[in-house]
Amino acid sequence: MKSLWNEEEAGRYQGELAQRVYTSRLLGRDASLVLHGGGNTSVKIKEENILGEEEELLYVKGSGWDLATIEEAGFSPVRMAHLLKLAKLRSLSDPQMVNELKTNMTKASAPSPSVETILHATLPYKYVDHTHADAVVAITNTANGLERVREIYGDSIVIVPYIMPGFDLARLCAEKFAAEATEKTVGMLLMNHGIFSFGETARESYERMIQLVSLAEDYLKQHGAWENPVPSAERTSRLLGNTLAALRREVSEVAGFPVIMTLHDDDRTLAFVRREDLGEISGQGPATPDHVIRTKQKPLVGTDAKAYAQAYKAYFAEHSPTAREPKTILDPAPRVILHPEWGMCAVGKNAKAAGIVADIYKHTMDVIEGATLLGGYRALPNKDIFDMEYWDLEQAKLRKGGAPPMFAGEVALVTGAASGIGKACADALLRRGAAVVGLDINEAIAELYKRPDFCGIPCDVTDEEALADALERAARTFGGVDMLILNAGIFPAGCRIESLSTKEWRRVMAINLDANLALMRECHPFLKLAPKGGRVGIIGSKNVDAPGPGAAAYSASKAALNQLARVAALEWGGDNIRINSAHPNAVFDTGIWTEEVLKARAAHYGLSVEEYKTNNVLKVEVSSYQVAELVAEMCGPLFAKTTGAQVPIDGGNDRVI
Ligand code: ZN
């Protein structure tokens, strides 16, 4: 592990807090040191308050901030004098501690200080860095981890036995430090948890962290237990879509809410899940308290989510203390599912959470494999895992946590999603918390959004093989499809019947009608497995009820699609799948309606562009956004008791009314 310190870069961070920001980001750049909000850093700074009095403040990482991207605003200033007094108390409950930290900040808008704040305060150094480095955790999580770290570090660090994060840990660290630190001390190691380094400058503290973790990595390498080459693995060629969707349905059922489930089948993951001792090594539990909350006590090996949930409830009953404050049981669904053939499925209440679970578990794999090669992995004892998982502070978050978004944990597939009404539908669904798979013939769909809850797939909807591939990918990425939005379609140039070629007719039918039949048919197994019931939203057209001359192929294709939707509503009601259609008209904020086309069409009717745009009963313009909002709501609870409906969104059309 190399120091990433760069003089020129560092020079752009002027001041003690800015330097703290710089080296915190350096730590954050290495995922084997800190991951997704893990780890924390601090600096002690003397400042003058509004009364002109000088006071010492501890600027410590605030919750909700990631070291990789932290800014000055991400550090919470807490009064040192108060922290040092708190550290001398005999005991302090977690909620009391959180209260003391929050009420002794000097900036009301700062984030809540880290739960490790008091620990930072008691270390008598200007800069303090703390990570949950994989290499350190791998060594401490072995049977004779204590002897090993003594061998590696000698008297350069103070070693603290495992204790749950919080006040008791801070106090124990302070005591250990006072009793054992010498002028040689450059760090403090917390068994089964992580490591602290400190120094008088940001650079000194950071580079000591790199040195300390490098020693652990070198030790592992000497024992053949680190950065071993990963053999390339053969991915299963079986189509897993339906199997994955069925598993996600079961996991959602035991969780009590829909979940996103993402399959990972990279070489590293496959090498791990195909180990012969998988059940044994993965069954022991997480490596650090930091990992417990996100990945739960243990992964599910295999596919029996119901049995996992039962075991989880039994574990709760066994470990939950009855004398203390009663705990709210967490949902008993697994977060990590390991399958020797497919790889790893990561589960979360949304795509971002599932991504964090996957990242953390991939590091857990490194830790477990390293520790196993060192002689045997030892997770935290069950009791400690329970205490961490059912921590008062986590329970408080559960009680606080408000209603989830409308489509949290659900997956929508939208065709023609790169622009116009399709893109607006994707946006409307994303805003409501759904993960969205966007299909479009335009290659730009792949790059439309860089966010974990969007997957853009270039796809010609008239190519049935491409559709099947897209659905397989949707299932591997998010675990299924719950909502299908049929939007892709074309509006060909005006052409009277006497000049309409069969070829043109068939082209329009292939895109506007046949592709939708194929997609509905192929999607049916997924929609049937949707945890909250399947939904199909159809972008119809005013032309269904009020066709126009010169649009025979278009009008006929939309009318046939409309009949298809009505029959589907009849056939699929028993599968708890709802199908509803929106019939828009004159939506001009889409790609096909350039300024020129608009002018030409308006002139054709002898209208101004403005008159042409609002040529309806209400004299209003209809936008893609409004159509998309209607379609999204049709998939939501407002339309829970409605299927087979057709709702115009056209400003009122006298031929339809
Ligand atoms: Zn920690």
H-helix segments, 302-402: 305-319, 351-373, 382-389, 392-400
Query: Is a pLDDT exceeding 90 seen at residue 297?
Result: no
365 CA → ligand 1 middle, Å: 19
pLDDT tens, position by position, 420-472: 999 999 999 999 999 999 999 999 999 999 999 999 999 999 999 999 999 99
192 CA → ligand 1 middle, Å: 10
Angular region, 518: left φ>0, alpha ψ -120 to 50, beta rest: alpha
CA dist list (Å): 160 to 149, 163, 173: 11, 8, 7
130 CA → ligand 1 middle, Å: 7
Query: Is a pLDDT exceeding 70 seen at residue 619?
Result: yes
Domains 7-222 and 241-392 share a fold: yes
- pLDDT of res. 593: 81
- pLDDT of res. 322: 63
pLDDT tens, position by position, 359-391: 999 999 999 999 999 988 888 877 777 777 777
Burial 549-565 (b: 16+ CB within 10 A, else e): ebbbbbbbbbbbbbebb
187 CA → ligand 1 middle, Å: 14
312 CA → ligand 1 middle, Å: 26
Tokens of 375: 């002689």
Evaluate whether 378 touches 371 at the Cβ level (below 8 Å).
yes
40 CA → ligand 1 middle, Å: 7
- pLDDT of res. 290: 74
- pLDDT of res. 334: 93
387 CA → ligand 1 middle, Å: 15
99 CA → ligand 1 middle, Å: 20
- pLDDT of res. 252: 98
- Among 196-200, 443-447, 579-583, 609-613, which stretch is predicted with the lowest mean pLDDT? 609-613
Query: Is a pLDDT exceeding 90 seen at residue 195?
Result: yes
C-alpha–C-alpha distance, residues 112 and 76, integer Å: 7
Residues 6+ apart with CB under 8 A from 73: 110
380 CA → ligand 1 middle, Å: 14
Q: Which string of DSSP letters, residue by residue, matches 571-623?
A: HHGGGTEEEEEEEE--B-SSTT--HHHHHHHHHHTT--HHHHHT-STT---B-
- pLDDT of res. 507: 96
Average pLDDT value for the chain: 93
Query: Is a pLDDT exceeding 70 seen at residue 655?
Result: yes
- Among 226-235, 332-341, 391-400, which stretch is predicted with the lowest mean pLDDT? 391-400
289 CA → ligand 1 middle, Å: 8
Evaluate whether 32 touches 39 at the Cβ level (below 8 Å).
no
Taking each helix axis from N to C terminus, what angle separates 305-319 and 382-389, rounded to the nearest 10 degrees?
90
Query: Is a pLDDT exceeding 90 seen at residue 590?
Result: no
Instruction: Tell me the CATH architecture of domain 241-392.
Output: 3-Layer(aba) Sandwich (3.40)
What integer is the mean pLDDT of 322-332?
74
599 CA → ligand 1 middle, Å: 64
- pLDDT of res. 324: 61
C-alpha–C-alpha distance, residues 121 and 128, integer Å: 9
What integer is the mean pLDDT of 556-584?
98
Per-domain residue ranges for the chain?
Answer: 7-222, 241-392, 411-649
What integer is the mean pLDDT of 108-114?
93
What integer is the mean pLDDT of 341-346?
96
Query: What whole-number percentage of the chain has pLDDT above 70?
Result: 99
Tokens of 248: 């996600």
7-222 placed in CATH 3.40.225.10: yes
CA dist list (Å): 443 to 273, 417, 439, 470, 594: 34, 11, 9, 14, 21
- pLDDT of res. 323: 57
What integer is the mean pLDDT of 573-593?
92
User: Reading across the β-sheet that carries 75-79, which strands appear in turn?
Assistant: 75-79, 54-61, 40-48, 127-131, 194-199, 187-190, 157-160
- Among 539-553, 581-595, 642-656, which stretch is predicted with the lowest mean pLDDT? 581-595
- What positions carry a catalytic annotation? 554
Tokens of 618: 């209400």
Query: What whole-number percentage of the chain has pLDDT above 90?
Result: 80
- pLDDT of res. 654: 94
pLDDT tens, position by position, 41-91: 999 999 999 999 999 999 999 988 999 999 999 999 999 999 999 999 999
- pLDDT of res. 336: 96
Tokens of 102: 């929050």
- CATH class of the domain whose range is 411-649: alpha beta
- pLDDT of res. 325: 64
pLDDT tens, position by position, 499-554: 999 999 999 999 999 999 999 999 999 999 999 999 999 999 999 999 989 999 99
